[in-house]
Structure 1
């Protein structure tokens, strides 16, 4: 059997959990059967990781993407800007990937925001098979429906990271039957410099971590709001560690008046009088080196999605997670973490103070958390499922 020529397009390029998930999966794909090339939109540490694993990786900063937004006016403006400026200026990108497409068997898209590239590829190279990861839950509006409907016409196989993305996909499209392919994000054991961030532990009894680039919907501002509600004498014993980009956009300030006058999360923490209880580390490639020095992870997303990469990595290293939502596939309340059905500041403060008073309470939760993740996110098992899916398409 000839090798499968697999081309993967990654719009994050190492600047997000989805990109890391793709890297971990592809490293385990059997290169005896696959020739893999990855094209990333951003230059970062993943380029070197791919090359170390004998996977060809190129950077294409002009890779065109379009993401469905929450408001009609913003979608109309973004689509017009994409059509008139972004797509025409991406001619170098199209020229670059053509050299791969002439021999490609399968093109895999790591995000639905690449659906218009898929449209162009299917038009130019109709025999190429297309797969696409569904890693997020787009806003339930006309543009998301249009985006997914077009994708449905182009994509041969969709891959969802949990049942939630699949069910959300179906709820937006309605009256559509899409093959259900659920393959959880994978996680791997890596060498970690445990001492690199051990200085964070000095003079603090409890370290609380949060790991995501800020947006209103990701809700990192809620961590700061929570800190402001903790009694001052107790807060002195706690350090909140924020990893990820902290910029607050104009759109974020429109959605939340609390953020007015702040250009980043550091300023918001200062505004609420809790800046001394926070350390902001920015973007870090090896988040694991931070989280192993913490006691608990907070994910207070407004999207109620307690299953992201930050959650599974924390659980893998026996760090329980406090989050919001109804999905119990990973966090089982008071078994592998704390799961609230809705954002409840009073309850969150109560949980933090309870852990501060008795950290032993979360030790067993940490072991339970790791067992769950090791079972669902086994990298070899999930790589086998991906290989099987791709091979069956040819």
Structure 2
């Protein structure tokens, strides 16, 4: 099978990292990545993947009807150009890596005539837009891969029940030796001007209001007020929207107001996530309804304990009290209490590290993800073959056994 992976943007975030990892580990299919020129295609080429550069259009949800119309026209044009380009290649399935890419591919299925798979990595929109997306999916999409049950529940499951598949993200397990972990702990702490004996909390991800990095800052402040020697690393950068830039500025102001300038490190985007996990003591995930939380399984693979919000994907990944700790969104007091407990009781922390590593190996490896994805591909190809057989019989063609 030749699979056209379609991504509407060249920017790299968690969704694109998952795409590259999946494409790289396919066993029964050959991937070709279609995306605008930029960082994503360059990373794909570095991985030895075949790529095709295409034009794109960055649409935005807005309440302004004129801007909404403009964005819709832009998406239609991008979808048309993609369909035109893909007809030049011998592909069997289009695997769209987002709802936006999926919409563009599905709207022009009459032109490229290929089955379309949506890989939905965000919670789908509500209201009229959500209903329109579901209607399109019901008529023009062969399968919808959802990264969590939380994402599945965002769809009309009655209308789409035969097209929805749960496919959790997976991580490539790379266990580091104690010597490697010691090296990274020393090296990264030196880079980030953090004492070797201090406790380090880390929050990793795109800087955006719904990621709620301010909760991690306030929790670190409470721990420090209680006399704990704590530093916080905020790993990530604002992308995609102006409001994310504004939010990043507000985080800097919060750090100043709480007099934490010497305790909080804004690192920007980092590619060495596993190494950072090896150098920290706790991972915090404070998001409001995180669709999955890829960084959680990355931290689990390095035996780093996690405290995450009890909403969306994290509660599917973590077993509260054993492989991680959950707290309610925005409850900074409980977040700080959980962190203090794990940093104080080392036996509890070590047990959680061991169980987390075991759980990620059993449930969230990239090999399991790829196995489920390729099973969906096979279902689609088999269904196409059966339909073709029925059609050939109906028009009186001789069909080989």
What TM-score do you get using the length of structure 2 for normalisation?
0.81
The aligned residue for residue 245 of structure 1 is: 237
Partner of 2:30: 35
Which segments of 5 or more consecutive residues in structure 1 lack a partner in the other structure?
none
Q: CA deviation at 1:144?
A: 2.2
2:200 to 196, 200, 207: 207
**Larger radius of gyration between Structure 1 and Structure 2:** 2
Q: Partner residue of 1:81?
A: 70
**CA distances 1:132-179 after superposition (whole Å, capped 9, x unpaired):** 1121112322212222322332110111122221122236xx655343
Q: Please give the alpha-carbon distance, in whole angstroms, between the structure 2 residues aligned to 1:181 and 1:91.
A: 27
Q: 1:214 to 1:332 in 2, by over 3 A?
A: same
Is the contact between residue 83 and residue 108 of structure 2 (CA under 8 Å) also seen in structure 1? no
2:176 pairs with 1:183: no
Q: Is the 8 A contact 2:9 2:56 kept in 1?
A: no
Conservation of the 8 A alpha-carbon contact between 1:204 and 1:238 = no
> How far, CA to CA, are the matches of 1:241 and 1:322 in structure 2?
15
How many pairs does the alignment contain?
370
Secondary structure of the structure 1 residue equivalent to 2:210: coil
1:8-47 to 2 correspondences below 5 Å: 8-11=5-8, 13=10, 15-30=12-27, 33-41=28-36, 43-44=38-39, 46-47=40-41
Alpha-carbon distance change, 248 to 207 in structure 1, aligned in 2, over 3 angstroms:
farther
**Quick check: 1:317 aligned with 2:337?**
no
Unaligned runs of 5+ in 2: 382-401
The answer as to whether partners of 1:64 and 1:117 remain within 8 angstroms in 2 is: no
SS where residue 168 of structure 1 aligns?
coil
Task: Answer yes or no: is the 8 Å Cα contact 1:65–1:116 preserved in 2.
Answer: no
The structure with the largest helix share of the pair is 2
Q: Report the Cα offset of residue 231 of structure 1.
A: 4.2
Say if 1:371 and 1:14 are closer, same or farther in 2 by CA, change over 3 A: farther
Counterpart of 1:368 (choices 355, 375, 384) is 355
Secondary structure at the aligned position of 1:138 is classed as coil
Confirm or deny: 8 A CA contact 1:246 1:264 kept in the other structure: no
Partners in 2 of 1:381 and 1:299 — Cα distance?
24
Structure 1 residue 38 displacement after superposition: 0.5
2:216 corresponds to which of 212, 223, 237: 223
Q: Structure 1 residues 117, 238: CA separation in 2 closer, same or farther (over 3 Å shift)?
A: same
Aligned position for 1:283: 269
Q: Is the 8 A contact 1:7 1:106 kept in 2?
A: yes
Whether the 8 Å contact between 2:147 and 2:169 is mirrored in structure 1 is yes
Q: Distance in 1 between matches of 2:372 and 2:20?
A: 15
Distance in 1, Cα, partners of 2:88 & 2:264: 48
Structure 2 matches for 1:248-287, cutoff 5 A?
251=243, 263=249, 265-287=251-273
Structure 2 residue 343 is matched with structure 1 residue 356: yes
Structure 2 distance, partners of 1:347, 1:19, is 33
How far did residue 99 of structure 1 move? 2.7
Separation in structure 2 between the aligned mates of residue 52 and residue 85 of structure 1, nearest angstrom: 30
Corresponding position: 1:51 with 2:45 = yes
Root-mean-square deviation over aligned CA pairs: 3.0
- Measure how far apart 1:95 and its partner are: 5.3
User: Is the alpha carbon distance of 1:190 and 1:158 closer, same or farther for their aligned partners in structure 2, counting shifts above 3 Å?
Assistant: same
Instruction: Give the corresponding residue for 2:122.
Output: 136
C-alpha distance in 2 between matches for 1:284 and 1:369: 23
For 1:95 and 1:148, how far apart are their aligned partners in 2?
A: 25
2:188 is aligned with 1:197: yes
C-alpha contact (below 8 Å) 1:8/1:37 kept by paired residues: yes
Q: Secondary structure at the match of 2:3?
A: strand
C-alpha displacement of 1:218: 1.6
1:308 aligns with 2:293: yes
Residues 102 and 117 in structure 2, CA contact (< 8 A), matched pair in contact too: no
Deviations 1:330-373 (A, max 9, x none): 21222111111343122122222223333442111011111111
User: Could you tell me how far apart the structure 1 residues matched to 2:49 and 2:254 are?
Assistant: 42
Per mean C-alpha deviation after superposition, the further-off stretch among 331-340 and 383-392 is: 383-392
Distance (whole Å) between structure 2 residues aligned to residue 148 and residue 226 of structure 1: 40
Q: For 2:239 and 2:259, how far apart are their aligned partners in 1?
A: 19
Q: Secondary structure at 1:185's aligned position in 2?
A: coil
Asked if 1 retains the 8 angstrom alpha-carbon contact of 2:238 and 2:245, the reply is no
